Amino acid sequence: MTAFFSGPPLLVHLVIIAMVNGFFFPIIYNWSGSLLYAFLISVGILCVYGLMAIWLFGKRKR
């Protein structure tokens, strides 16, 4: 299982996620006007990022 994640360490992804969420969350909150919608949209964006990272780094290992 560890060979599957041969890309950047988990800490790098966590820092990227924190920076993206810290930047986009207030923008989404001002746009939607709802804290719940801003949270759900930002979590959705972060899930898409995670899937893309797994897809891209998983293809390199094959």
Q: What is the pLDDT of residue 1?
A: 47
Residue predicted with more confidence, 14 or 60: 14
Residue predicted with more confidence, 59 or 39: 39
Residue predicted with more confidence, 7 or 57: 57
CA gap 41, 44 in Å, rounded? 5
pLDDT (tens digit per residue) in 19-33? 888 888 888 889 888
- Residue 47 clears pLDDT 80, i.e. is over it: yes
Label residues 24-50 b or e (16+ Cβ within 10 Å = b).
bbeebbeeeeeeeebeebbeebbeeee
